Structures are given as C-alpha cells and as structure tokens.
Amino acid sequence: MKFTAGQIAGLLGGQVEGNADAEVSALSKIEEGKPGSLSFLSNPLYASYIYTTDASIVIVNQDFVAEQVFKNTLTLVRVPDARAAFATLLDAYNQFRNNKTGIDPSASISPSAKLGANVWIGPLVCIGDHAIIGDNVKIHPHTFVGEQVRVGANTILHAGVKIYHECVIGNDCILHAGVVVGSDGFGFQPNSENNYKKVPHIGNVIIEDHVEVGANTTIDRATLGSTIIRKGVKLDNLIQIAHNVEIGENTVIAAQTGIAGSTKIGRDCLIGGQVGIVGHTTIGDRVKIAAQSGIGNPLKDDEIVQGSPAFSIGDYKRSYVLFRSLPDLKAKVQDLEKLMKNSDH
C-alpha cells in the first residue's frame, strides 16, 4: 500500500518540504534507505545519513537545519517530534497489518465460549469452555485459552501463548509468543518421608489494561487469591513472576528478572535486567533497581539501588571505586611487608 508525503504530513500534522506527491510503500532506517521507503531522523548522530540516503521521504524535527544539499529525490516532512511521529506511523502500520477478522477452520472453540465482534482466531487455536473473548481480539496460531478465561477488547495474543483456566487479561494488552499465564506456582511442602508434596494453586492471574508481556515470560497463578499485574505494566522477555506477586501501575521490568512469591512492587518502578527479588518483601513506588542486583530486603519509595545484595547506588559507586583499587592496595601492602621484613634484618 502506497502513501504520499502529503498524506503522511496530514496524518502527523506536519509540513511537506519537497514533492508532496512523493510515494512510499516501505519503512527503512535512514542509513539503509531505498527508493520508495520512508525513514526518520531525530538523533544528531545520524544526521550525516540524510544527505546520502536513498529514502524517498524522511521525517525530521521542525527545527532541523540542513548543512549540505540533499539528493533531489528526497522529500522532508517536518513535525514537532520526529521519533514520536515515526512511532505513530509504526502503530498505524501494525494496526493495518493486523486488521484480520474471522475464524480459521482448524481452530477448536468450545460451544460455550463467547466471542466478541471482529475477532480473528488463527490456525490451531484452542479456546476452552465458558471463555469470553472481547471485541477486536487477535489470537495467533497455536494459542491456548483455558476454561473461564476472560480476554479484553483489542488485546493481541501472539503465537503459542498459553492462558490457564480462570485467568483474566484486560483491554488493549499484548502478549508475545510463548507467554504462559496461570501455570502453578513453585510450591512444595517436605513431608516426613523427606519427599515433597505439591501445594495446589487454586487462585488465578489478573492482568489489567494496557499491559505488554514479552516473549517467553511466565506469570504463575496465586496459591489463593490472585497474582496481579496492574495497568500499564511493561514486562520484557524471559521474566519469571511467581505466585501472589503484585506489580504496580506503569512499572517497567527488563529481561531475565525473577520475582519470588508474594512480593509487592509499587507503581512507576524501573527494574533492570537479571534482577532477583526475594519473596514476601515490598518494593515501594518509583524505585529504580540497577541490572543484576539482588533484592533481599524491602525498599522504600524513590530508592535507587544497585549490587547483590543491593544498597544505595551512591554508596555502591563509592564502594566500587575502592573495590577496583584492591589489587593496587594489595601490591602496596606487600611492598610494605617486604620493607618491614628487610628492616628487621
């Protein structure tokens, strides 16, 4: 599908500089631009590419000032924020690409399940008894939706997502390939024979609106009650959320983080990759945790921590300076010991 510079400017509220009838049918990085493609420039580090790119249209900030002559095939669209404008176009492109409806003949859907309007159910999808699927939901191939699951409007379940029974997914969510929601928590009780007896998990998982969950992330169901992912949370790939965890609104967590059972995390937190958080603890609001940190104690609102075990990031940086100097300090101590030993003789 082709769009002109004029149409793009109209969608973004921008101004055309060049040929308003220039057409594009693809997107590209500015350094890899080809004729017929659309790109953008917002980072000054890439400014040199705008003079050599073969892209037909480039979105730029309104205050962009050219220092060289462009190729005569290039048309600019000036907008207040080029990166945000390009993101808007990507979102529109995604919506156009995913605007599918209908039910694939190979899908298995319980007669008691309820499907909303304009849904798309892909090949080999399985939807269980009494499940409720909202309007405009897109369910990609090989996805499993268990009994009495509820999936809100406009949500996308990518290939191979598994949602166990009685879990709830909100509106406008995205669950990427391989996500598992509602598997049993890791709960076992040792008995008198030194074996482990499984503790049943009869709760569920509730994911509120506007949540995005990265590929192969797992969210365990509660022992009792609910594991809760609040509105606006963004989870990266390969994250483990244990039973009865609660994550507050708009918190962002990077890949390979693990959160043990019954921990409560506040809103607007930023948690780096490969962080480990002990169970039954509390993380306050607006907390920032650096990558590879280990959290073994509660954290108050607005704390910034690093290390394993984690402590104040300012103290961590000062300690790290000393840590790096330990080899030099050791050498100096050894030299002093030699001097003292020689002086004794």
Query: Of 259, 258, 256, 261, whose CA–CA distance to 273 is shortest?
Result: 256
CB 76 within 8 A of CB 24: no
Instruction: Provide the residue count of the chain.
Output: 345
CB 215 within 8 A of CB 174: no
Under DSSP, is residue 323 helix (H, G, I), strand (E, B) or coil? helix
State the pTM of this model.
0.83
CB 246 within 8 A of CB 228: yes
Q: What is the pLDDT of residue 279?
A: 96
Q: What is the pLDDT of residue 345?
A: 60
Q: What is the pLDDT of residue 10?
A: 94
* Domain 102-244 superfamily per CATH: Hexapeptide repeat proteins (2.160.10.10)
DSSP 69: P
CB 324 within 8 A of CB 308: no
Q: What is the pLDDT of residue 313?
A: 82
Taking CA 158 as the corner, what is the angle to CA 122 and CA 144, rounded to the nearest 5 degrees? 65
* Residues labelled catalytic: 243
CB atoms within 10 A of CB 273: 16
Query: Of 166, 12, 4, whose CA–CA distance to 80 is shortest?
Result: 12
Under DSSP, is residue 84 helix (H, G, I), strand (E, B) or coil? helix
Give me the tens of pLDDT residue by residue for the chain, a chain 345 residues long.
Answer: 789 999 999 999 999 999 999 999 999 999 999 999 999 999 999 999 999 999 999 999 999 999 989 999 999 999 999 999 999 988 887 777 778 899 999 999 999 999 999 999 999 999 999 999 999 999 999 999 999 999 999 999 999 999 999 999 999 999 999 999 999 999 998 888 889 999 999 999 999 999 999 999 999 999 999 999 999 999 999 999 999 999 999 999 999 999 999 999 999 999 999 999 999 999 999 999 999 999 999 999 999 999 988 878 888 788 777 778 888 888 888 888 888 887 766
* CATH class of the region 3-97: alpha beta
Under DSSP, is residue 260 helix (H, G, I), strand (E, B) or coil? coil
Q: d(Cα 74, Cα 53) in Å, to the nearest integer?
A: 8
Domain locations in the chain as residue ranges:
3-97, 102-244
Taking CA 159 as the corner, what is the angle to CA 158 and CA 165, rounded to the nearest 5 degrees? 80
Q: d(Cα 144, Cα 158) in Å, to the nearest integer?
A: 11
Q: d(Cα 223, Cα 308) in Å, to the nearest integer?
A: 29
Task: Give kind and range of the element (H or E) at residue 94.
Answer: helix 82-97
In 3-state terms the chain splits into helix, strand, coil percentages (rounded to 5) of 20, 30, 50
Q: d(Cα 48, Cα 252) in Å, to the nearest integer?
A: 34
Q: Largest Cα–Cα distance in the chain?
A: 96
Q: What is the pLDDT of residue 344?
A: 65
CB 74 within 8 A of CB 52: no
Write the pLDDT tens digit of every residue in 219-258: 999 999 999 999 999 999 999 999 999 999 999 999 999 9
Query: Of 74, 89, 76, 88, whose CA–CA distance to 34 is shortest?
Result: 74
